[in-house]
Structure 1
């Protein structure tokens, strides 16, 4: 609709920093997909009104790192109690060949619907399910599913030209791509889908699966050069565990971040997922170059990787955002769960590192490590900045109307002295009075138009059985 007035919000959380984190007004005027006014507003003539009485307004969450194909790998038994290396072999790589066009589409739909129902309006999917001769175009499916739901979608096109095993002994679905074929597909996808706009609905990103392991150093540099010539950003995994540091020193006599910097993979157009295990000089280098992070606290906890030093990274100048990561290592793959975990884990990390006092002084815990306003900012305007979608991510005049209206009608939220902080501090899944993306109402009264959740549940259960059968785990 060209114009909409959202009236009577209980509180408006803007996603901005400091004193701007909350707006004193209660109404939001949306025109042609853009917020044009916030305050206590009169109703313009011939303007539809949405009553948001009792609701908390947030910017739509910006998820900067996901693996949507893993939406059918939640709680997979073989990898449930494994750390990263063993989990990769047991879960995502064991099931790669089991995906066909239909099961992949169901996985993408489940993941996107789950995210939308948490109030997420922008998804960056680090999609690395590619192999030579792949019989379906997974990128097309991802864009189709995102478009059908009305969500902003960023394809981080993963890939690998080398593996740690012997290529001739690998099954087809585990074989690496040829570098020229991968780069040609990058150019095809960029030409077909990428929108060079700060409010783009579709973008493409250069995203080797692992910056340390998936290509040669020369190819890594060529990836960066092609991305910058094409006007697209760069993304990859880095320093999720101490194995990255050991491998980089063994192979390149550098730290992982030094290696990335050497081959063009730092800067304001680059962000990495995880960055859990970093040396102080690596944090300084990332900050000095304005590189970003997709912080994935739940997956890092689930895999036993640790807790990234988000406070130290931000103080150094690193751009902070939040990512869900794959549902195969995060069985609650939504942004409310992720923000709740981010809030708690930064406090836990600070408390764990606090020095005991034996001189009678006061021991200082980590209860002040991260504020709710910090977490909201990381998950909204912070994510938009990392993705270069600077016309989105906050509630302010001139910004895209990506708005989540949470209705706190579950007992989980009763008794809160400050209901505005409910989604972050209480977690769960607050209902949505409405969710807008680019001014379009994509969810209303907790319902997604055109989505039959009961049927999606049946489709997902059937797809899981198919995957288990094809992987040889069910007869």
Structure 2
């Protein structure tokens, strides 16, 4: 095993005690953290690599709880649309994605996440054109190439327009085929062992694109196989009206009636929850992927994050699809979460430290990894983000966590995943950004030409 010491930095551990160290050390032995403390690393650790991190802040690697990587090929579309308008405009374009599209978009999207301090990401992939190949395997290969930990969700849609849903019939799948594909994805890719790089979740897409039967049968399959559940919920007023008209209940009640709430579930958005629903989320331990930039871009509203936290629900951060968040960088969401919460409920609604917890510890809890991710503790996985705060833009801000959350947005200086360096001196080390950009531009042009 290779031992790396990181010394001289401020450390926001986000551990059980929420320790913060003004100038301290981290010792990484292979893929685990073996020491965290004040001052230089103890002499007992004979470092193979020593990193002088003076003027920097160490945090746990950030955790992205919701994404649609394939959407990187369609950024800039439907610029002033609501969610339903945006989906109607983009579904026909997405119908033409294939393995080349997903390879290019997944690599580009995961590279952007890595450069923004993200060590673990999920992805909610739910469009599987018949000609496209094994798209889940393609994006898992992309995650391995970039070097990030990956929790892809096998999404699905079986409720097309002819059955009263929103998606075109041409891009929905048969329910039995979906369940077979979900089982195969678990068999092929899910790793339940400690330190896993890849884990699978099952994720029917949303109440307006999925039948009740698929929701129920997917939950049964996931719980039988010991994997987590994910879907979109309560994102817009349109969705609420759809659920009331079609099912006679609000979106959260619809899920609750099907047994879809629990500590093995996390839900994207949850913008439109009332007080009783917020309490229900906390009582069941159901997680939330808060996507503030995407919600703002689509005019969906602001999720009740302070109330969800007070109720005891884990609330992680998500960048969401790059077609509704053209930045796609996770550190941006810390500031977005802070300013939107404060704009809605005042300057005490959310603190900088709470925002960091959303991006780390809460995100790990949403993905079922809080035993080993989202905090800098002895025994935790060696997933570390190091932020350079010596730049002019941070000068004079004495509080490093506040500086990270409210100061200028910068790429992470150093990113370590399982003890392996992925970003160094702000530059991605696992792929060539120029090649990634060229591949993404090619696929974007190809989709645009194929669009109806």
Same fold (TM over 0.5): yes
Q: Structure 2 residue aligned with 1:318, among 308, 313, 327? A: 313
Q: What is the aligned partner in structure 2 of residue 125 from structure 1?
A: 123
Residues 31-430 of structure 1 mapped to structure 2, 5 A cutoff? 31-39=29-37, 40=39, 41-43=41-43, 44-45=45-46, 47-76=48-77, 79-91=78-90, 93-131=91-129, 133-165=130-162, 174-210=170-206, 212-350=207-345, 366-390=346-370, 391-430=372-411
- Pair 159,110 (structure 1): closer, same or farther in 2 beyond 3 Å: same
Secondary structure of the equivalent of 2:208? Answer: coil
The one-character-per-residue Cα deviations of 1:373-414 (angstroms, maximum 9, x if unpaired) are 100001101000110012111111111111011113543323
Kept in 2: contact 1:200–1:389 (CA 8 A): no
Q: Which residue of 1 aligns with 2:444?
A: 464
1:30 maps to which residue? 28
CA offset digits 1:54-75 (Å, max 9, x no partner):
1110111000000001112222
Which sits farther off after the overlay, 25-34 or 243-252?
243-252
Cα gap change, 1:298/1:221 in structure 2, threshold over 3 Å: closer, same or farther? same
Give the C-alpha shift of residue 14 in structure 1.
1.5
**SS of the residue aligned with 1:66?**
coil
The C-alpha deviation readout for 1:127-159, integer Å capped at 9, x for no partner, is 11213x233211111100101111100011110
**1:97 positional shift:** 2.5
Deviates more, 1:278-287 or 1:368-377: 278-287
Bigger CA radius of gyration = 1
Equivalent pair of 2:117/2:412 in contact (CA under 8 Å): no
How big is each residue's C-alpha offset from its partner over 1:259-281, in whole Å with a ceiling of 9 and x where there is no partner? 11111100000010000011222
Aligned counterparts of 1:407 and 1:59: Cα–Cα separation in 2 = 14
Contact 1:413-1:426 at 8 Å conserved across structures: yes
Distance 1:46 1:458, change over 3 A: closer
Partner of 1:14: 13
Aligned-pair distance for 1:24? 5.0
Give the SS at the match of 1:327. Answer: coil
CA distance in 1, matches of 2:194, 2:408: 30
- Any conservation in 2 of the 1:266–1:289 contact (CA below 8 Å)? yes
Secondary structure of 2:243 counterpart: helix
Query: Per-residue deviation at 1:22?
Result: 1.5
Partner SS for 1:206? strand
Equivalent-residue separation in structure 2 for 1:377 and 1:206 (angstroms): 25
Secondary structure of 2:95's aligned partner? helix
* Stretches of structure 1 lacking an aligned partner (at least 5 in a row): 351-365
SS for the counterpart of 2:156 is: coil
Partner deviation per Cα, 1:326-358 (whole Å, 9 max, x = no partner): 0101111111111110011100010xxxxxxxx
CA distance in 2, matches of 1:20, 1:122: 21
CA gap 1:464/1:189 in 2 versus in 1, 3 angstroms: same
Counterparts of 1:423 and 1:165, CA distance in 2: 49
- Superposed CA RMSD: 1.8
Equivalence for 1:360: none
Task: Return the alpha-carbon distance in structure 2 between the equivalents of residues 141 and 219 of structure 1.
Answer: 25
2:84·2:238 contact (CA, 8 Å) conserved in 1? no
